[in-house]
Amino acid sequence: MSTIPRRYLAAAILLTGATAGFAQQASSPLPRWYIGAAPVLEERVFAIRGEAIGAYIMGGMLYGGYALAPGLTLQLGVLHGRGGSMDDNYADDGTPKYVNNSYKESVWGVPSSLRWRLSKPERRFQVNALTGIRLYAVRQTRTYNQLLGSTSADGWRPVLYHSKGVNGYLDGGLGIRYACTSRLQAVAEVSLNINMKKISSSYLFGLGPGASSLLGLQYAFR
Protein backbone atom coordinates (compact mmCIF):
# COMPACT_ATOMS: atom_id res chain seq x y z
CA MET A 1 0.00 0.00 0.00
CA SER A 2 2.82 2.35 0.82
CA THR A 3 4.34 1.93 -2.64
CA ILE A 4 1.34 3.47 -4.46
CA PRO A 5 1.64 6.95 -2.91
CA ARG A 6 5.37 6.90 -3.62
CA ARG A 7 4.73 6.20 -7.29
CA TYR A 8 2.19 9.01 -7.43
CA LEU A 9 4.66 11.27 -5.66
CA ALA A 10 7.43 10.40 -8.12
CA ALA A 11 5.10 10.98 -11.08
CA ALA A 12 3.96 14.29 -9.62
CA ILE A 13 7.56 15.40 -9.15
CA LEU A 14 8.42 14.51 -12.77
CA LEU A 15 5.29 16.23 -14.10
CA THR A 16 5.97 19.34 -12.02
CA GLY A 17 9.55 19.48 -13.23
CA ALA A 18 8.54 19.05 -16.87
CA THR A 19 5.80 21.70 -16.57
CA ALA A 20 8.18 24.14 -14.92
CA GLY A 21 10.77 23.56 -17.63
CA PHE A 22 8.18 24.11 -20.38
CA ALA A 23 6.89 27.28 -18.70
CA GLN A 24 10.42 28.61 -18.35
CA GLN A 25 11.10 27.90 -22.02
CA ALA A 26 7.81 29.47 -23.17
CA SER A 27 8.32 32.56 -21.02
CA SER A 28 11.93 33.11 -22.12
CA PRO A 29 12.26 36.48 -23.86
CA LEU A 30 12.32 36.56 -27.65
CA PRO A 31 15.42 37.96 -29.41
CA ARG A 32 15.32 41.75 -29.70
CA TRP A 33 18.29 42.24 -32.03
CA TYR A 34 19.15 40.50 -35.28
CA ILE A 35 21.43 40.96 -38.29
CA GLY A 36 21.10 39.52 -41.78
CA ALA A 37 22.38 39.37 -45.35
CA ALA A 38 20.52 38.64 -48.57
CA PRO A 39 20.87 38.85 -52.35
CA VAL A 40 18.24 41.12 -53.89
CA LEU A 41 16.43 41.22 -57.24
CA GLU A 42 14.38 44.33 -57.95
CA GLU A 43 12.50 46.18 -60.63
CA ARG A 44 12.20 49.91 -59.98
CA VAL A 45 11.43 53.11 -61.85
CA PHE A 46 14.32 55.58 -61.65
CA ALA A 47 13.56 59.25 -62.22
CA ILE A 48 16.73 61.15 -63.17
CA ARG A 49 16.64 64.68 -64.61
CA GLY A 50 12.95 64.45 -65.37
CA GLU A 51 13.21 61.17 -67.27
CA ALA A 52 11.64 57.99 -65.80
CA ILE A 53 13.17 54.63 -66.72
CA GLY A 54 12.10 51.17 -65.59
CA ALA A 55 15.14 49.04 -64.77
CA TYR A 56 16.12 45.85 -63.01
CA ILE A 57 18.64 45.78 -60.15
CA MET A 58 20.64 42.80 -58.87
CA GLY A 59 22.69 43.19 -55.71
CA GLY A 60 22.96 42.45 -52.01
CA MET A 61 21.80 43.89 -48.70
CA LEU A 62 23.13 43.90 -45.14
CA TYR A 63 20.64 44.81 -42.43
CA GLY A 64 19.82 44.78 -38.74
CA GLY A 65 16.61 44.88 -36.77
CA TYR A 66 15.34 45.69 -33.28
CA ALA A 67 12.04 44.67 -31.66
CA LEU A 68 10.30 47.87 -30.54
CA ALA A 69 7.46 45.87 -28.98
CA PRO A 70 6.16 42.28 -29.09
CA GLY A 71 5.27 41.71 -32.72
CA LEU A 72 6.65 45.06 -33.99
CA THR A 73 10.19 45.38 -35.40
CA LEU A 74 12.20 48.22 -36.93
CA GLN A 75 14.70 47.18 -39.61
CA LEU A 76 17.44 49.27 -41.27
CA GLY A 77 19.94 48.24 -43.91
CA VAL A 78 22.40 49.13 -46.65
CA LEU A 79 21.96 47.91 -50.23
CA HIS A 80 24.19 48.00 -53.30
CA GLY A 81 23.20 46.83 -56.75
CA ARG A 82 23.69 47.21 -60.48
CA GLY A 83 21.40 46.73 -63.44
CA GLY A 84 19.86 48.46 -66.39
CA SER A 85 16.89 48.98 -68.67
CA MET A 86 14.98 45.98 -69.91
CA ASP A 87 15.85 46.69 -73.55
CA ASP A 88 19.53 46.83 -74.45
CA ASN A 89 21.70 46.64 -77.56
CA TYR A 90 21.65 42.85 -77.89
CA ALA A 91 19.04 40.41 -79.11
CA ASP A 92 18.25 37.17 -77.28
CA ASP A 93 20.80 35.27 -79.36
CA GLY A 94 23.56 37.77 -78.47
CA THR A 95 23.74 39.57 -81.81
CA PRO A 96 23.80 43.39 -81.78
CA LYS A 97 20.53 45.21 -82.38
CA TYR A 98 19.69 48.89 -82.62
CA VAL A 99 18.05 50.56 -79.64
CA ASN A 100 17.74 54.33 -79.59
CA ASN A 101 18.62 54.62 -75.87
CA SER A 102 19.69 52.12 -73.22
CA TYR A 103 20.45 52.67 -69.54
CA LYS A 104 22.72 51.24 -66.87
CA GLU A 105 22.18 51.89 -63.17
CA SER A 106 24.44 51.65 -60.12
CA VAL A 107 22.70 52.26 -56.79
CA TRP A 108 23.44 52.56 -53.08
CA GLY A 109 20.32 52.33 -50.98
CA VAL A 110 19.17 52.73 -47.38
CA PRO A 111 16.06 50.58 -46.82
CA SER A 112 14.03 51.11 -43.64
CA SER A 113 10.87 49.27 -42.67
CA LEU A 114 8.43 48.45 -39.89
CA ARG A 115 7.38 44.80 -39.59
CA TRP A 116 4.31 43.33 -37.92
CA ARG A 117 4.34 39.67 -36.92
CA LEU A 118 1.20 37.92 -38.17
CA SER A 119 1.85 34.48 -36.65
CA LYS A 120 2.38 33.13 -33.15
CA PRO A 121 5.91 33.73 -31.79
CA GLU A 122 6.50 30.10 -30.77
CA ARG A 123 6.09 28.80 -34.32
CA ARG A 124 9.14 28.01 -36.42
CA PHE A 125 7.47 29.43 -39.53
CA GLN A 126 6.71 33.15 -39.20
CA VAL A 127 4.86 35.57 -41.49
CA ASN A 128 5.36 39.34 -41.32
CA ALA A 129 3.67 42.29 -42.99
CA LEU A 130 6.07 45.12 -43.84
CA THR A 131 5.95 48.71 -44.96
CA GLY A 132 8.78 51.17 -45.34
CA ILE A 133 10.72 53.87 -47.15
CA ARG A 134 13.87 53.45 -49.22
CA LEU A 135 16.31 56.11 -50.38
CA TYR A 136 18.51 55.27 -53.39
CA ALA A 137 21.51 57.23 -54.62
CA VAL A 138 21.62 56.46 -58.35
CA ARG A 139 24.41 56.75 -60.90
CA GLN A 140 22.97 56.37 -64.38
CA THR A 141 24.75 55.85 -67.69
CA ARG A 142 22.61 56.55 -70.74
CA THR A 143 23.82 55.20 -74.08
CA TYR A 144 22.47 57.09 -77.07
CA ASN A 145 23.10 55.13 -80.27
CA GLN A 146 23.67 57.65 -83.05
CA LEU A 147 22.95 56.23 -86.49
CA LEU A 148 25.76 56.44 -89.05
CA GLY A 149 23.29 56.46 -91.91
CA SER A 150 19.59 56.57 -92.62
CA THR A 151 18.93 53.08 -91.17
CA SER A 152 20.39 50.83 -88.51
CA ALA A 153 21.89 48.67 -91.28
CA ASP A 154 24.48 51.43 -91.74
CA GLY A 155 25.61 50.95 -88.12
CA TRP A 156 25.62 53.29 -85.16
CA ARG A 157 27.97 55.04 -82.78
CA PRO A 158 27.28 54.96 -79.00
CA VAL A 159 27.36 58.29 -77.16
CA LEU A 160 27.46 58.09 -73.36
CA TYR A 161 25.82 60.48 -70.88
CA HIS A 162 26.31 60.21 -67.11
CA SER A 163 23.78 61.44 -64.52
CA LYS A 164 23.21 61.23 -60.78
CA GLY A 165 20.14 61.54 -58.60
CA VAL A 166 18.37 60.47 -55.42
CA ASN A 167 15.09 58.59 -55.52
CA GLY A 168 12.72 57.72 -52.68
CA TYR A 169 10.31 54.78 -52.65
CA LEU A 170 7.36 53.54 -50.64
CA ASP A 171 7.49 49.77 -50.14
CA GLY A 172 4.93 47.27 -48.85
CA GLY A 173 4.80 43.49 -48.84
CA LEU A 174 5.15 40.24 -46.94
CA GLY A 175 8.10 38.43 -45.41
CA ILE A 176 8.48 34.87 -44.19
CA ARG A 177 11.00 33.41 -41.77
CA TYR A 178 11.86 29.82 -40.91
CA ALA A 179 13.82 29.04 -37.74
CA CYS A 180 16.65 26.69 -38.74
CA THR A 181 17.97 26.86 -35.16
CA SER A 182 17.13 28.95 -32.09
CA ARG A 183 19.20 31.81 -33.54
CA LEU A 184 19.58 31.21 -37.29
CA GLN A 185 16.65 31.93 -39.61
CA ALA A 186 16.07 31.61 -43.36
CA VAL A 187 14.15 34.60 -44.72
CA ALA A 188 12.32 35.48 -47.93
CA GLU A 189 10.43 38.63 -48.92
CA VAL A 190 8.33 39.95 -51.77
CA SER A 191 7.15 43.56 -51.98
CA LEU A 192 5.74 46.21 -54.28
CA ASN A 193 7.14 49.75 -54.55
CA ILE A 194 6.32 53.12 -56.03
CA ASN A 195 8.63 56.02 -56.74
CA MET A 196 7.80 59.09 -54.64
CA LYS A 197 8.84 61.48 -57.43
CA LYS A 198 6.37 62.73 -60.00
CA ILE A 199 6.46 60.26 -62.88
CA SER A 200 5.28 60.80 -66.46
CA SER A 201 1.70 59.82 -67.27
CA SER A 202 2.94 56.90 -69.38
CA TYR A 203 3.10 54.91 -66.12
CA LEU A 204 0.05 53.70 -64.20
CA PHE A 205 -1.53 56.87 -62.73
CA GLY A 206 1.96 58.41 -62.84
CA LEU A 207 3.07 56.22 -59.89
CA GLY A 208 6.01 54.33 -61.36
CA PRO A 209 5.34 50.90 -59.79
CA GLY A 210 7.88 48.13 -59.27
CA ALA A 211 8.56 44.95 -57.31
CA SER A 212 11.40 43.39 -55.34
CA SER A 213 12.36 40.09 -53.74
CA LEU A 214 15.11 38.66 -51.56
CA LEU A 215 16.20 35.35 -50.06
CA GLY A 216 18.74 35.26 -47.24
CA LEU A 217 19.77 34.40 -43.69
CA GLN A 218 19.59 36.29 -40.41
CA TYR A 219 21.06 35.71 -36.95
CA ALA A 220 19.25 36.65 -33.73
CA PHE A 221 20.93 37.76 -30.49
CA ARG A 222 19.49 36.78 -27.11
pLDDT tens-digit readout, 113-154? 999 999 988 888 999 999 999 999 999 998 888 887 776 666
- 214, exposed or middle or buried, with CB in 10 Å at 0-12, 13-18, 19+? buried
Q: Taking the alpha carbons of 56, 105, 166, 52 in that order, is the dihedral positive or negative?
A: negative
pLDDT band at 14 (very low <50, low <70, confident <90, very high): very low
Q: Which amino acid is at 29?
A: P
Q: At 151, phi and psi to the nearest 5?
A: -135, 170
Q: Say if CB 112 and CB 75 are below 8 A apart.
A: yes
pTM given for the model? 0.76
Phi and psi at residue 86, to the nearest 5°: -70, -25
Domain boundaries, the chain: 1-29, 31-221
Segment 49-58, tens digit of pLDDT: 878 888 999 9
Q: How confident is the model at residue 15 (pLDDT cuts 50, 70, 90)?
A: very low
CATH number of 31-221: 2.40.160.20
